[in-house]
Chain A
Amino acid sequence: MSAPLLAVDAGVAARGVRLAVGVGDGETVAIMGPNGAGKSTLFALCAGLLRPDDGGVRLGGRVLADHSGAWVPPHRRGIALLAQEPLLFPHLNALENVAFAPRAAGASRRAARAAAERWLAEVDASDLAARRPGELSGGQAQRVAIARALAAEPRVLLLDEPFVALDVAAAPALRRLLRRVLAGRTALVITHEPLDAHLLADRVVVLESGRVAESGPTAELLERPRSRFAAGLAGLNFVAGRSTAVGSGNAGRLAVEGLGEVSGSVPDGVAAPADGEEAVAVFRPADIAVFRPADIPHGSPRNSWRATVQELEPRGVQVRVHCEAGPALGAVPTGAVPTGAGQPVRLSADLTPAAAAELDLAPGQPVVLSVKAAAVSLYGV
């Protein structure tokens, strides 16, 4: 990657955050991670609402903040922030709100008004110009807020969960709008929705506990997650261990504490993990079959584990069965491979309601989980 336009390499000790994130010119990056991972801190560092304790923030060739005390105040950074709530100035109508940034930049009343009309048209909100924020719906207000941020003509746009405060009906239209206006713009988007990451972002950065857990192109990252959080976003089962052997072709094995050996296959185009290297096994809940302990599965090479049902979660036409999986069924301890020892591993399986009813599943019930080796992706982290 060429030198990023916006480069954050900074720490905030009080929040336990130490991050290195770069955004290329014209690139949109989705920032994902659990609550308290440091997403808001990252935005505050970029926008100038927080000073770093160490490291610094750069935009283009310019130092915005560093540990030696260099400091560019928020209003001189050219970085606009769109918060979860629209936060339109309540004493100004929609047009005046959008004209705020041009006015602050010193534009004449007429020029600012013309620019505001242009940006309102850009977000299809020209008919809202004369309305006060109190007279706008959530979706309309967020639309005007987007126009207001764009009217500042920022070099970088920060969007903090722009859809989270909207009702379900208003989000799709706004998503389409953002997809259009973010094309070619440099932007960071905090989101919890894989859909937003796919639609809006070129790249995803996953934060966990104040650090970058992983980052990569959106499709690749969600298809082959290397962190538990990203796997959760993509709705995939995720177990970490050490690669023990790469067999013929692309078949591989992973030693996982609590599960024993997991057989899987290395995806095409991905280097096979070396023996002993840290690696992960990832598979879809729909690929797990659930059996009663009495019925031992056979056939093609399978991974089978004893497990206990923890919870049944209805999900539309399917039921997600959350289990704690124990040792492999009939596991043969071989040398360094841990078998039954360690924490149980959480795995989820998707069943049809009919299948779930037939198995008469209930929390606490012992079952056997089985997944074909061909359905398990193995790769290094």
Chain B
Amino acid sequence: MLASARPDSQARGFTGLPRWIWAPAALGALFVVVPPAGILARVDWADFVLLVTSESSLAALRLSLGTAAASTAVVLLLGVPMAMALARGTLPGLRVLRALVLLPLVLPPVVGGLALLYTFGRLGLVGRWLDVLGVQLAFSTAAVVMAQAFVSLPFLVVSLEGALRTAGGRYEAVAATLGASPTHAFRRVTLPLVLPGLASGLVLAFARSLGEFGATLTFAGSLQGVTRTLPLEVYLQREADPDAAVALALLLVAVAAAVVGLAYGRRGLR
């Protein structure tokens, strides 16, 4: 890509790009691209299939895909209204709320996990009332989904809020004067207009959920088939069976690459 970008831009005329930019840019690209290749070099190809189809590996993969899909659904249901309220709402204090809502983006995931534990754990702020009702969330598959949704929600909110702000409210105003109720305009105008932003937000949220480690380990533990997702399995196997860890890591790289490819493929179409 770097190699082909240069003649292309020259063919299009003046770019204003200083020559020296290419050196640090290439260094940065190598820094990102080489490590995954390092994994490829370390993979034990002879036993690869055997390693990734072991019972524990398959359980972790199944759990990871299932919980990431579930948390993405949660993020969709909660994040879209949040982005709408933040982008279009006029309530006082919304700016402060936006900063708070984006907290998980900058919080270390382990701290997020602790926060969830002291809120939804058996003795937590909310958990003690749930416990009375016989609901225990911590160290369950539901806790995995909650941990993933907690860390990935801001990705969708940021992405969608940006798209909503860029789109502006002019089309909605036109829709209203044409007789469309706010709900009708939301379904028929707003959502279709921001669909690319929504899609990339969902892809980012799914990818972030798939790679979640710290919050999951802290709030949900590491129980095979229940809470031990692929990243947790990789970390566990790292000591016991490095070959298996590497094979699973490659699996994660492949899934992540597929997700990113999907996102960029969509963007390329626009």
Contacts and interface: CB of A to CB of B under 8 A. Distances in A.
A47 B177 contact: yes
A154 B179 CA distance: 9
B189 A81 contact: no
Q: Which 7 A-B pairs have the closest CB atoms?
A: A74-B176, A104-B180, A81-B177, A101-B178, A91-B192, A104-B179, A75-B176
B174 interface: yes
Given A87-B170, A104-B184, A79 B189 contact: no
B165 interface: no
Contacts of B189: 89
A354 interface: no
Nearest to B169: A49
A83 interface: yes
A81 B179 contact: no
11 contacts: A47-B173, A49-B173, A49-B176, A73-B176, A83-B174, A87-B170, A89-B189, A101-B180, A104-B180, A148-B178, A152-B179
Interface in A39-88: 47-49, 73-81, 83, 87
Contacts of A154: 177
Interface of A: 47-49, 73-81, 83, 87, 89-91, 100-101, 103-105, 148-149, 152, 154, 158
Interface residues of B, number: 19
A100 B193 contact: no
B111 to A, nearest CB: 41
A258 B171 CA distance: 51
Given A90-B193, A91-B193, A104-B184, A74 B170 contact: no
A100 B173 contact: no
Interface in B183-239: 184-185, 188-189, 192-193, 195
Contacts of A91: 192-193, 195
Given A75-B182, A75-B185, 9 more contacts: A78-B179, A87-B170, A89-B192, A90-B193, A91-B193, A91-B195, A101-B178, A104-B175, A152-B179
Contacts of A81: 173-174, 177
Given A87-B170, A89-B171, A91-B193, A79 B177 contact: yes
Nearest to B189: A89
B250 to A, nearest CB: 39
Contact of B180 (A48, A75, A90): A75
Contacts of B193: 89-91
Contacts of A49: 173, 176
A149 B185 CA distance: 15
Nearest to B167: A90
Nearest to A100: B178
B171 A87 contact: yes
Nearest to B173: A49
A103 B189 CA distance: 13
Contact of A104 (B170, B171, B181): B181
B187 to A, nearest CB: 10
B178 A80 contact: yes
Contacts of A90: 193
Nearest to A83: B174
A8 to B, nearest CB: 16
Contacts of B181: 75, 104
A47 B170 CA distance: 13
Contacts of B192: 89, 91
Contacts of B170: 83, 87
B178 to A, nearest CB: 4
A154 B174 CA distance: 13
A78 B174 CA distance: 12
Nearest to A76: B179
Given A89-B189, A100-B188, A74 B171 contact: no
B245 to A, nearest CB: 46
B173 A75 contact: no
A103 B187 CA distance: 12
A83 B175 CA distance: 12
A47 B175 CA distance: 12
Nearest to B174: A87
Contacts of B171: 87, 89
A80 B140 CA distance: 54
A79 B178 CA distance: 8
Contacts of B179: 75-76, 78, 101, 104-105, 152
A74 B188 contact: no
A104 B189 CA distance: 11
Contacts of A158: 177
A75 B176 CA distance: 5
A307 B69 CA distance: 81
Most interface-central of B178, B180, B185 (chain A CB within 10 A): B178
A152 B179 CA distance: 7
A101 B185 CA distance: 11
A100 B175 contact: yes
A206 to B, nearest CB: 25
A81 B174 CA distance: 7
Nearest to A148: B178
A158 B174 CA distance: 11
Contacts of B185: 75
B178 A149 contact: yes
Given A87-B171, A91-B193, A74 B177 contact: yes
